[in-house]
Amino acid sequence: MEQLSTFSSSDCDSVIARSPKGDAAIPGLLRSARNDIWNLGLTDYEEVRRWQIQHASDVALKNAKEVIVMTEHHPVYTCGRKTLPHERPMTGDIPIVDIERGGGLTYHGPGQIVGYPILNLDRRKMSIPKYLRKLEQALIAALAEEGIEARYREECLAGVWIGDKKVASIGIAVRRWVTFHGFALNVDCDLTPFRNARPCGMSGEKVTSLADSNYSVEKNRLHGQIAAHLMREFF
């Protein structure tokens, strides 16, 4: 029986990339020197989501290898299983997608660093709360390398905060102890879509970005630091 657990907290060329083991195709641009992390550039959310679901199933069946997908999406709202009707945007032309992860509504768009670890927790003997803390720790450690003091707020609220504002959202799903979905760190994205909704049930004014918090970072360097800390935490 399959069990689903859910928890929260510049166009590129369109090509088809395959993992070195020949796993299912994923849309996007593969730019990674490692087999464990795939860097896809700017992608369509729904295409990557469908691929995640299939790949997580393949990992659970031992037909594919674990991987951490890092990307950035065209503008989209995603609504987790706890999203309430009044939290959705009332106007605008940004697509809204209902999905299977935990948590509420969030926004994805250019200017974020998004990561989707597809990992077998059972193989690591790792609980879901511990996995969430490790995601947060990887982001916090990478930001610390840039001189940015960030933290997680409470044990029951997944995500990363700068002061009293949220800079990274975390929302995951787990099937047969394999994770998918993940995190989105706001680097220099447009915050207006957050203001037009209630992300994670909060006022959009409670969401920030590194740029909005007066931190200027080189995104490609930060991307690499996050990847390195994820590798240390999980591989």
List alpha helices for the chain, DSSP H.
45-60, 121-124, 128-145, 192-195, 219-234
Phi, psi of 7 (to 5 degrees): -145, 155
The catalytic residue positions are 200
The number of residues in the chain equals 235
11-38: b (≥16 Cβ within 10 Å) or e: eeeeeeeebeeebeebbbbeebeeebbb
The band of 203, judged by pLDDT with boundaries at 50, 70 and 90, is confident
Return the pLDDT at 33: 42
Give pLDDT tens digits for 16-53: 233 334 444 444 434 444 568 999 999 999 999 999 99
Structural domains in the chain plus CATH codes: 4-234 (3.30.930.10)
Its pTM stands at 0.86
What is the C-alpha to C-alpha distance for residues 26 and 47, in angstroms, rounded to an integer?
Answer: 8
Indicate the pLDDT class of residue 3, thresholds 50, 70 and 90: very low
Do residues 94 and 75 touch, judged by C-beta distance below 8 A?
Answer: yes
Amino acid residing at 55: H
